[in-house]
Amino acid sequence: MDKRYGFEDDIPHEEIKDTDAVKYSNELEKEKREKMERELKNDEKLLRWGGNSGSYFCLIIGAVMFVVGCVLCIERLTNKKTCTKRVHGEVIGFSLYEPHDQEEESHAYAPVFRYYYGDHEYTQKGKAYTGKDNLYVGKKLDIYIDPNDPTTIYVPEYKAEKKADIMLVIVGLIVMIVTFVYPRYRIKKEIEELRRTYESRL
């Protein structure tokens, strides 16, 4: 009985207790969800950092390969443009690539060219270590030199140098693309799985 108005309270005490219990349960559920959301964000942050940190090194390697390849391509094209004086030359030998591992057998060679300009004899070694291809000791060929710097040469028949430069650019580009795309795809999948795991705990 409500003493102020003279009639009984219409809401039973049991119903009031049930309402308070539901409210308290909802608050606990909200706190639990907020806590798990914070944990999920922290785990996602750690996952992104851990997944990307390992790929940064490969990305740098790919970028270095790409840049070096581009620089070599530009240098070769510049030499082709500036080397306008044609002289007769020949292959006088091959420089064998020496691997760091002394037990490893090397089959990569760089040709050594000899040519004459004016009253001077010049020898220049190729920059790319590959197979001998169509070159051999004693082969006569045309060599184009820079009249202002006879040590700068361009040898049209020396195809290995062009192939090596282009291959370096392509491999570097592939490494960068794969390193940039794949970890993000993998991390995205792992985050989706992580979210499903958290949602199943709610």
Q: What is the pLDDT along the chain (202 residues), one digit of tens a residue?
A: 444 544 455 545 555 555 666 666 667 667 767 766 766 676 666 555 555 555 777 888 999 999 999 998 999 899 899 999 999 999 999 988 776 555 556 678 889 999 999 889 999 998 887 777 788 899 999 999 999 999 999 999 888 888 888 999 999 999 888 887 776 667 666 667 766 776 666 5
Judge residue 109's burial from the number of C-beta atoms within 10 Å of its C-beta, 0-12 exposed, 13-18 middle, 19 or more buried: buried
Buried b (16+ CB within 10 A) or exposed e, 53-79: eebeebbeebeebbeebeebbeebeeb
Q: According to the model, what pLDDT value does residue 5 have? A: 47
Angle, vertex CA 162, rays to CA 154 and CA 73, nearest 5: 85
Q: According to the model, what pLDDT value does residue 134 have? A: 80
Q: According to the model, what pLDDT value does residue 87 have? A: 95
